[in-house]
Chain A
Amino acid sequence: MYNRIPATLKITLLLITCLFTTSCETLNIQAIGKQQKFNIEDDEKRLWKRSDEFEEILNNSGFVFSDSELQVYLTGLINNILPLEVKAIGCSVKAYVLNDPSFNAFMLPNGVMYIHTGLLVSLENEAQLVTVLGHELDHFVSRHSLKFFRNLKNTSAFYATLSAAAIAAPYANLAGLLIQYSFLSSVTGYSKEMEAEADRGGFDAIIKNNYDIQQSVRAFEVMEMQIKEEKIKEPYFFSTHPKIKERIRNFKELSASFKDKATYLGKEIKADLYNNKIKDIILENAFLDIKKNHFKSANRAIERFLKLEPQNPEGYYMQGELFRCRGEKGDPDKALESYLRSLEKDNNYALAHKALGLFYYKMKKPDLAKKEFQNYLLLAPQAEDRGYILKYLQELNL
């Protein structure tokens, strides 16, 4: 029957079908603060509700870093860089830190931002952080998630109609469209136009708060270098190489085309303040990097920590663990040296004694091993791995 219909009529029928069966949602959405009163759309209310639920799950997951001082600092910072017209209508945002070594930050439609420890530790100063936060904030202010979601609905409806009407085409695989929007946006990013708009937002945040504009490019150059070094293939937006290259290009263009460059006096970097704020997460994140075999990132972080806290035994212990896990030529000796330095700083640092004990045990130096294991158990009698240490001591005593 179908083959008897003339080709021109087939195409006409197809187009009519598409027009009638796809109901397009408007993408003409004003940014928050552009109207005197913020009118939240019906589908946007649902996105906010999903965000609230997602926030509750994530905050109860154990992945949120429980450092209230850091959270207060970040929340204060993002509310500070929030555009005035947004603050004027009573809008405020929140920030949480996620214990995750990947380079990622994402903003939920309900005004909650999650920043990974990996991103915080990879940046060098507050100016660089403001660039990234400003970029993410703009996604919220410009209501990109609503646009993204509506575009998804429109496009999927269009292609589904096209597929249904055109017999030759296989039915589109729509499984991927059922992924949570918030995660999708943090993984693949928004459209090129929306990302460019967000870059503009990040650049404006730098300018309006008197930061050094060179840091906006540097932020992404630093991330690019680390991604290349570690050959990271994670799908997160800030971890994907093409996306970072695009950011660098955009910020260089924004910097070059900044018309008030000659008179702009903003030079704020705030490196010391920033280091002080993130100090407590540096080693924690380094530990996560070691867990994921990101040894270069871990090493850089540990060295940064030791510059800030040269007397802290934990830094040297973590360095020893890095060398132990990395296991390259010469690393066992480096690990030994780090553990010994840790104990030089504090002879009561139990974990370094354990690490030394294991080192000597594997090197078949029983007397040294015994001594370190005994020290460890004296200092940490309730240690979780006590059973193993007692077993080694039993073997060594035979």
Chain B
Amino acid sequence: MNKIKIFIIIACVFIVCGCVAWQLVPSNYQWNNAGFSAVLPQGWMKFQSPAALLFLTKDGELLQSISFFREKIGKELPISKKKFTKEMLSQELAETLINELSLGQNKHNFKVIENIPVKLGNYDAFRLTYSFNTADNLKLKTVVYGFIKKKFIHFIQYEAAEQHYFDKDISTFDKFIQGFQILR
């Protein structure tokens, strides 16, 4: 098919889907998906992402985001080629993730700030906080919770520009986590 025609189709699909790709979260909005639920922060924008179960931002995805995504256990990680396994302690899960992130050439000055065990519902999880900067000198800080449920390792992540934005919305993320439920 003619490449220009493909481009135009994609642009049209984007224009059409774009109208529904971003949705404003109203107050007390209860989100439910894949056996999880949470109250989403009012006034944030929700994106229909194929790459994540949930993706939210308030000011723009480069400035701050809350996302929830998962990877199949036993799948080889792209850089380290290591795998998450069901038998791993949450410390080992965290170390495997740190391993993978630290090898990423797009994460400059990668630094682990905190790595602690936590409970999410009845599940053993880890909470990892790290910082890095992009090649464009944007300093980012990330908090990620990780836990295994059934055949997946799940991640709930808050990432924001370290200057101003991280501190501004961390309490929103903490509230989100407190309300996060693992249903089945």
Residues of A that sit less than 8 Å from B by CB: 57, 60-63, 170-171, 288, 291-293, 358, 362, 384-385, 387-388, 391
> Is there an interface contact between A61 and B79, defined as CB atoms closer than 8 Å?
no
B132 vs chain A, min Cβ distance (A): 8
The verdict on A293 contacting B108 (CB below 8 Å), with A385-B115, A387-B117, A388-B116 known, is no
User: How near does chain A come to B89, taking the closest CB pair, in angstroms?
Assistant: 8
Residues of B within 8 A of A387 (CB): 115-117
Pick from B3, B80, B110: contact of A293, CB under 8 Å: B80
Smallest beta-carbon distance B95→chain A, Å: 9
Task: List residues of chain A with CB within 8 A of the CB of B115.
Answer: 384-385, 387-388
Q: Which residues of B contact A62 (CB under 8 A)?
A: 108-110
A62 to B80, CA, bound (A): 19
Judged by a CB distance under 8 angstroms, whether B82 is at the interface is: yes
How far, in whole Å, are A288 and B108 apart by their CA atoms in the complex? 16
Give me 11 other A-B pairs in contact (C-beta within 8 A), A291-B102, A293-B81, A387-B117 excluded: A57-B135, A60-B108, A62-B110, A63-B105, A170-B3, A292-B80, A292-B81, A293-B82, A384-B115, A385-B91, A385-B115
Within 8 A of A (CB), among B83-113: 89-91, 99, 102-103, 105, 108-110, 112
- Number of B residues near A (Cβ < 8 Å) is 21
B74 nearest CB across to chain A (Å): 14
Residue among A57, A293, A362, A388 with the highest chain B CB neighbour number at 10 A: A388
Q: What chain B residues lie within 8 Å of A391 (beta carbons)?
A: 117
User: B110 and A388: CB pair below 8 A?
Assistant: no
B105–A292 touching, CB < 8 Å: no
A291–B91 CB distance below 8 A: no
The digit string for B29-46, where 1 denotes a CB below 8 A from any CB of A, is 000000000000000000
- A388 neighbours in B (Cβ, 8 Å): 89-91, 115-117
Could you list 11 A-B pairs, sorted by A, with CB under 8 Å? A57-B108, A62-B109, A62-B110, A170-B3, A288-B103, A291-B102, A292-B79, A293-B81, A362-B89, A387-B115, A388-B116
* Distance, CA A157 to CA B103, complexed state (A): 37
Least Cβ distance of A56 to chain B in Å? 10
Q: Please report the C-alpha to C-alpha distance between residue A57 and residue B3 in the assembled complex, in whole angstroms.
A: 36
- Per-position 1/0 for B114-138, Cβ under 8 A of A: 1111000000000000000001000
Of the candidates A57, A61, A358, the one having the most CB atoms from chain B within 10 angstroms of its own CB is A61
A291 touches B103 (CB 8 A): yes
User: Which residues of B have CB within 8 Å of A292?
Assistant: 79-81, 103
Residues of A within 8 A of B99 (CB): 291
Within 8 Å CB of B90, what residues of A?
A: 388
Q: How near does chain A come to B78, taking the closest CB pair, in angstroms?
A: 11
Alpha-carbon gap, A291 to B112, bound state (A)? 16
Per the bound structure, the CA–CA distance linking A272 and B143 in Å amounts to 46
Residue of A nearest to B108 (CB): A61
- Which residues of B sit under 8 angstroms from A288, Cβ to Cβ? 103
B75 CB to closest chain A CB, in angstroms? 14
Instruction: Determine how close the nearest CB of chain A comes to the CB of B33; give it in whole angstroms.
Output: 30
Within the assembled complex, what's the spacing in Å between the Cα atoms of A356 and B103?
26
Residues in A whose Cβ lies below 8 Å from that of B103: 288, 291-292
* Bound: A82/B80 CA distance, A: 37
Which residues of A sit under 8 angstroms from B81, Cβ to Cβ? 292-293
The docked-state distance in angstroms from the alpha carbon of A385 to that of B110 is 17
For the complex, give the distance between the alpha carbons of A170 and B79 in Å: 35
> Nearest Cβ distance between residue A62 and chain B, in whole angstroms?
4
User: In the assembly, what is the distance between CA of A292 and CA of B102, in Å?
Assistant: 11
Q: Give the CA-CA distance A324 to B109 in the complex, in Å.
A: 27
Whether the Cβ atoms of B135 and A61 lie closer than 8 Å is yes
Q: Provide the residues of chain A in CB contact with B82, threshold 8 Å.
A: 291, 293
A317 nearest CB across to chain B (Å): 15
B119 to chain A, nearest CB (A): 10
Q: Which residue of chain A has its CB nearest to the CB of B92? A: A358
Closest 9 CB pairs of A and B: A387-B116, A62-B109, A61-B108, A388-B91, A293-B81, A391-B117, A291-B99, A388-B117, A62-B108
Which residues of chain A are within 8 angstroms of B89 by Cβ–Cβ distance? 358, 362, 388
Give the docked Cα–Cα distance between A184 and B184 (Å). 49
**Complex contacts, B102 vs chain A, CB 8 Å:** 291
B117 touches A61 (CB 8 A): no
Closest B residue, CB atoms, query A101: B103
* A262–B6 CA distance with the chains assembled, in angstroms: 67
Complex-state Cα separation, A61 to B102, whole angstroms: 12
Closest to B4 in A: A171
- Chain B 48-101 interface residues, beta-carbon cutoff 8 Å to A: 79-82, 89-91, 99
Q: Are A384 and B79 in contact (CB under 8 A)?
A: no
Residues of A within 8 A of B114 (CB): 384
Chain B residues closer than 8 Å to A61, beta-carbon distance: 108-109, 135
Q: Chain A's nearest CB lies how many Å from the CB of B101?
A: 11
A63 to B79, CA, bound (A): 16
Among residues of B, the one whose C-beta sits closest to the C-beta of A389 is: B91
> Would you call B3 and A291 a contact (CB within 8 A)?
no
Q: Which residue of B lies closest to A294 (CB)?
A: B81
The CA-CA distance from A391 to B127 in the complex, in Å, is 14
Which residues on the B side are within 8 Å of A362 (C-beta)? 89
- The residue in chain A whose Cβ has the minimal distance to the Cβ of B87 is A362
Smallest CB gap from A386: residue in B: B116
Alpha-carbon distance between A63 and B102 when the two chains are bound, in angstroms = 10
